[in-house]
A and B are shown apart, each in its own frame.
Chain A
Amino acid sequence: MTQKTVDRAQEYVRIEAVTKRFGDFVAVDGISLSIFKGEIFCLLGGSGCGKTTLLRMLAGFESPTSGRILIDGQDMAGIPPHERPVNMMFQSYALFPHMTVESNVAFGLEQEGLAKTEISRRVAEMLDIVKMGEYGRRKPHQLSGGQRQRVALARALVKRPKLLLLDEPLGALDRKLREHTQFELINLQEQLGVTFVVVTHDQEEAMTLASRIGVMNKGQIVQVGTPTDIYEFPNSRFVADFIGSVNLFEGQLVEDEPGHVRIRCAELDSTVFVDHGISAAPDAKVAVAIRPEKIELSREAPSGDENRAHGVVKEIAYMGDMSVYLVRLDSGRVVRVTIPNSERHADQRVVWEEPVYLSWEPSSPVVLTV
């Protein structure tokens, strides 16, 4: 995960109560959001959550049904795409098939009416930056997927936009190439100091690229935060479940102190003790979320009578770097536990049908009220 220091004082994009309807369908539902100068902001969500519509409104291909979008303090209402200080990298790359790589990259500069020499200098420079200098005379169909992606990036960046919109930038690449390209993208962004807004449905991609993530669901932004915030402190059942995998237990608040809380869950045979306070009504229905990697597995009973459960191992899936255990608790509930395979030979590991204890630290559970 990359942690960048972003100057929060410098707001670059401001989205104010933006709603977009297509007929009866509400694609974007009253979103307000600020994006800061120089950050990589990821809009993360499943298909149909409205993330692409929001991106297209920033680019100017759709106009909001209500609300305002300001870029660098200027209201974008009524400004067509070709007059916005924004460029976009399309999911399909949208390289012009009848033009060479050079002419593709030069296209945007020609629209600005720059001199020919200036255009060819900047095109060459940009192609070098994305390491495509040797391929200038090729046509898009003569390039591989990864090369096309770089040309698309070069074409959008050569106009030196202050804001670059990327629609699923790595979606069309295979897995190996993806990881490599992610880091290149981050380096490029740091080098050029452009603000990125990235739309993706891939949480790993969002986690690696983003300085901040906005998780979207049904046209709304449900949580905004750094990747760590989103993963460690999800604010709702939806976010906890959407990012990574999680064990969710429904329960009732039985003790609510400023420094700690106790929750009783029907599916667990002990109470859950959490070492930080929450804000919820007394006796409120809450959910406890515990990540699989934060649960420990042991044959012996752990000390204390809280934050523990007892069950039987029903499945073990070996994943190479770690193993996933599915444990059926005495209540019948199945819990997911992941353990890193830090040793090559593990004779001591638990096996199928073995009775085990589960336990976790008081700081691990997240209490969710919505």
Chain B
Amino acid sequence: MSTRGWFRHTALALGLAFLYIPILSMMVFSFNNSRMVTVWDSVNSPTLRWYVRLFENEQLLGAAWISLQIAAMTATGAVILGTLAGLVLTRFGPFRGRALLSAMTTAPLVMPEIIMGIAMLLLFVSLEQLIGWPTGRGMLTIVIAHITFTMAYVTVVIQSRLAGFDDALEEAARDLGARPVTVFFRITLPLIAPALVSGWLLAFTLSWDDVVISQFVAGPGSSTLPMEIFSRVRRGVSPDINALATIMVLIVATGVVASTVWMKRQERKRLLEEQMARSDAG
């Protein structure tokens, strides 16, 4: 058993090293003075010059702002549509078109992005020819495309949350005289709130990160941050991208760590209260 324990710990340690070394190396070299990204200039480093240059780069900052807006709109839209789809699939029983809806919400999870990108672009082109909308391509088309592929993820998150709690809660509310709309807002929504938050964050991240689909459906002047990074990176490594990566990693890490700590504290509190309830059961 102890040899297996040793094997498990080694596997985990090596795996985590594999996951983190590239990121850490990128972060370290963001403070490197040399233009030769991977050769450490020990005389003049560490330096913040790439960070300064990054914040002077209006093109990148502009793209970041566009990406932020797109991601926020996408996440909001995807949460609304994904919640409806999740609710319909777990709570509404059989209806005509259910199988199609279920297939359409799981397919985007594994669909290669490039196929979705082409399909979305051709749709927008055809629509514009047919009904004159959407005129040209830009933020609107990116948001529509992003909502479509991210809502699948939100649907899965919502579905598993809804499947995890008792249908009887909603029935009890109806039994106590609440109309369906009241049931949704007073019972269902508060109960799936954590899933709404994680669904929103997931959709935000997926949208913020997407380059392939955006490339197809973006128009002039609507380059997203990943598109900008992609075109720079294709030309080779550049130190200010390291700086950008470091900033993004730090923001995400802070957020994830903070939320994990918070959730853990909530859980501990809950466990404690449950224990107390058992001990003073009368």
Contact = CB atoms under 8 A, between A and B. Distances in A.
Given A94-B169, A145-B281, A88 B175 contact: yes
Given A143-B277, A147-B282, A96 B175 contact: no
B35 to A, nearest CB: 56
A94 B167 CA distance: 9
Interface in A134-189: 138-139, 141-147, 155-156, 159
A342 interface: no
Interface in B151-180: 165-166, 168-169, 171-179
A87 B276 contact: no
A81 B174 contact: yes
A98 B191 contact: yes
B172 A90 contact: yes
A159 B178 CA distance: 12
A146 B276 CA distance: 14
Instruction: Name the prevailing secondary structure of the B interface residues.
Output: helix
B176 A111 contact: yes
B169 A96 contact: yes
B277 A61 contact: no
Contacts of A59: 171, 175
A81 B171 CA distance: 8
How many B residues are at the interface, by size bracket?
A: 20 to 34
A233 interface: no
A226 to B, nearest CB: 29
Nearest to A140: B277
Interface string A99-122: 000000001100110000000000
A97 B191 contact: yes
Contacts of A111: 176-179, 182
A211 B190 CA distance: 41
Contact of A87 (B169, B175, B178, B281): B175
Contacts of A108: 176-177
A60 B176 CA distance: 12
Contacts of B176: 82, 87, 107-108, 111, 155-156, 159
B277 A144 contact: yes
B235 interface: no
A198 to B, nearest CB: 16
Interface in B247-280: 270, 273-274, 276-278, 280
B187 A96 contact: yes
Nearest to B176: A108
Given A107-B173, A141-B277, A94 B168 contact: yes
Given A142-B273, A142-B274, A147-B281, A96 B174 contact: no
A140 B174 CA distance: 19
A142 B177 CA distance: 26
A92 B168 CA distance: 8
Interface in A180-209: none
A61 B172 CA distance: 10
A82 B173 CA distance: 8
B13 to A, nearest CB: 37
Nearest to A158: B176
A332 interface: no
A76 B274 CA distance: 41
A139 B272 CA distance: 13
Nearest to A146: B281
A80 B174 CA distance: 9
Nearest to B169: A94
Contacts of A92: 166, 168
Contacts of B182: 111
B172 A94 contact: yes
Contacts of B187: 96
A147 B278 CA distance: 10
Contact of A141 (B166, B172, B273): B273
Contacts of B274: 141-142
A156 B175 CA distance: 9
A94 B171 contact: yes
A139 B190 CA distance: 15
B267 to A, nearest CB: 11
A159 B177 contact: yes
A96 B281 CA distance: 20
Contacts of B175: 59-60, 81-82, 86-88, 156
Contact of B270 (A90, A112, A141): A141
A91 B169 CA distance: 11
Given A90-B172, A111-B182, A144 B273 contact: no
Contact of A142 (B166, B178, B277): B277
Contacts of A139: 273
Contact of B172 (A88, A98, A144, A145): A88
Given A91-B168, A146-B282, A159-B177, 13 more contacts: A59-B175, A82-B179, A90-B168, A94-B166, A94-B171, A96-B169, A96-B173, A107-B176, A142-B273, A142-B277, A144-B280, A155-B172, A155-B176
29 contacts: A59-B171, A59-B175, A60-B175, A81-B174, A81-B175, A82-B174, A82-B175, A82-B176, A82-B177, A87-B175, A87-B176, A88-B172, A94-B166, A96-B169, A98-B191, A107-B178, A107-B186, A111-B177, A139-B273, A141-B270, A141-B273, A141-B274, A142-B277, A144-B278, A144-B281, A144-B282, A145-B281, A155-B176, A156-B176
> What 4 pairs between A and B have smallest CB-CB spacing?
A144-B281, A108-B176, A111-B177, A94-B168
